[in-house]
Amino acid sequence: MKIHHLNCGILHAPPSPKASCHCLLIEHESRLVLVDTGIGLEDIKHPVERIGQFAIEAAGFQFHEELTAARQVEKRGFKIADVTDIVLTHGDQDHAGGLADFPSARVHVSVEELAAIESNCGRYSADQFAHGPRWAAHGGSSVRWFGLEARPLALVPGCEIYLVPLFGHTLGHCGVAVHEGERWLLHVGDAYYLKAELSTDDHPVSALAAMRAEDDALRRASLSELRRLVREHAAEIDMVGYHDFGEFPAGMV
């Protein structure tokens, strides 16, 4: 198994710094699993219809075809159909835009997040789901992962992958934990925007995180759990978020 770190989009609304769309591509033999999908090809063709002018300007969406997950999969010599499964941390526009580029993939998400997506909540873009994703919704689990609930995903033979509820940013927001060799990689989605939030409550981005949270008390509780993992399990867990360019492997971006 090999994990590729992909930047599948750029958000930039000055004076804020540029933000990445940090997706994972899990390669196992001839099949691929994508964690989040970034800004997609259809978003580039129809940005206002799929994202909305206000969101484009507020978040600073940039549109680069070569950064889409579809083009990056092809650049690595794979076919679109090789992506058999997609795991969504949540359904925000910068995470779900590429779903339509992989129409045959199963899309794994928490039952709570799917309920929110299907509730016509104004947070989400109905156009990004209009192609009819092949949803696979995952409910509560008795499995525990370093003290957190973990919802097993049977995607890659012999590889442990879990949806880890980190609710708050959205009501069904989850991290994705992947067992990689002797260590774990936890993709936290938007449970933090910048890694600095793991060590301070006073970072300027914290106000934005609070504003964007569906339930800020839950968001802060999830962030507290991530801080606990860093304190107690740094030797076992590597952690990356979605928007911090500093979290890509050296030389990648």
Give the relative orientation of helices 216-233 and 205-212 as an angle to the nearest 10 degrees.
130
Q: Is the pLDDT score of 96 beyond 80?
A: yes
Q: Is the pLDDT score of 30 beyond 80?
A: no
Q: How many CB atoms within 10 Å of residue 169?
A: 26
% residues pLDDT > 90 (the chain) = 90
Q: Rounded to two decimals, what is the model's pTM?
A: 0.97
Distances (CA, A) of 109 to 19, 73, 173, 195: 23, 21, 9, 24
Q: Is the pLDDT score of 93 beyond 80?
A: yes
The predicted structure's pLDDT at residue 16: 87
DSSP string covering 130-152, please? Answer: TT--EEEEE---S-EETTEE-EE
**Spatial distance between the Cα atoms of 24 and 102, rounded to a whole number of angstroms:** 15
Q: Is the pLDDT score of 252 beyond 80?
A: no
Region label for 251, one of left (φ > 0), alpha (ψ between -120 and 50) or beta (otherwise): left
CATH number of 2-247: 3.60.15.10
Q: What are the domain boundaries of the chain?
A: 2-247
Q: Place 67 in a pLDDT band, splitting at 50, 70 and 90.
A: very high
Q: What does the pLDDT look like over 109-167, one tens digit per residue?
A: 999 999 999 998 899 999 999 999 999 999 999 999 999 999 999 998 889 999 999 99
Q: What does the pLDDT look like over 163-203, one tens digit per residue?
A: 999 999 999 999 999 998 899 999 999 999 999 999 999 89
The predicted structure's pLDDT at residue 121: 87
